[in-house]
Amino acid sequence: MVIIIWALLLTFSFAIIKWAITMITRKLGMANINKTSIYVWGFMAVAVSFLVKEHFVYNLPALDRQVLLVCLALFIVNMVMAKYSGYKPIGVYNTINFVIFYPLFEEVVFRGLILPILNQSFQYQYTLIEIAYLPVTIAVVISAFLFAIAHLQYYKLNRLSIRYMCFAFIGGILFGAIADYTQSIFLSVLLHIEFNFLSATYAFKQQKVQNRVHTQGS
């Protein structure tokens, strides 16, 4: 029960922190500083990692040929999948957060903390499927599901956010399997940043084309 509460609190920790900041600033009559929520969230995630005995946050990855080949394949797959993600960060501030800070902090929370916490709750790590010989356990699937629904902290529930959640669930499975196998979030952080960077790049290029067509049409 304690493990479930921990996992749920971490899953919705961004929304909790954002709500707390809003309440505090409103009570003190200060300007809304919700833009800092992501950094407070990241700081709190790192702080929690010092309280949890079992985590993957600071571990160096246990590497072998198998996992490196999987990461290389996923690196290439990201180049294709990112085109269809639908993510469109607007402005320099949001783009930097989307490309760097969200991937980093999400990996700390979901693969660095929640996944090892869930691992502790299952006495036997039953493998549901294997992806290129990497085991996908029940803990990996649950952490991926939590990662998917956590995206409702950032977006309203609609057709587009469901699309984001589907991508997040698939990414959560793949990143989770890699983190679980290597006992580290190092590789999943890099792959997550790559995916978000490519998504932002494709969105920027698409917007440029649309602006050009609109200008020519005018």
- Span 94-125, pLDDT tens digits: 999 999 999 999 999 999 999 999 988 876 77
Sequence-separated (6 or more) residues with CB below 8 Å from residue 137: 119, 122, 125, 126, 127, 128, 180
SS3 123: coil
pLDDT at 218 over 60: no
Q: How confident is the model at residue 51, as a pLDDT?
A: 84
Task: Give the burial class of 107: count Cβ atoms within 10 A of its Cβ; 0-12 exposed, 13-18 middle, 19 or more buried.
Answer: buried
3-class state of residue 17 by DSSP: helix
Residue 55: pLDDT band with limits 50, 70, 90: confident
Per-residue tokens: 167: 């991508």
- Judge whether residue 189 has pLDDT over 90: yes
* Average pLDDT, rounded, for the chain: 90
Stretch 192-207: mean pLDDT, rounded?
A: 94
> Is the predicted pLDDT of residue 72 greater than 80, yes or no?
yes
From the CB of residue 156, how many other CB atoms can be counted at a distance below 10 Å?
7
Q: Which percentage of the chain shows pLDDT scores above 70? A: 94
Q: Work out the angle between the directed axes of helices 65-81 and 159-182 (0-180°, nearest 10).
A: 170
List all residues 6 or more positions away from 197 whose beta carbon is below 8 Å from its beta carbon: 99
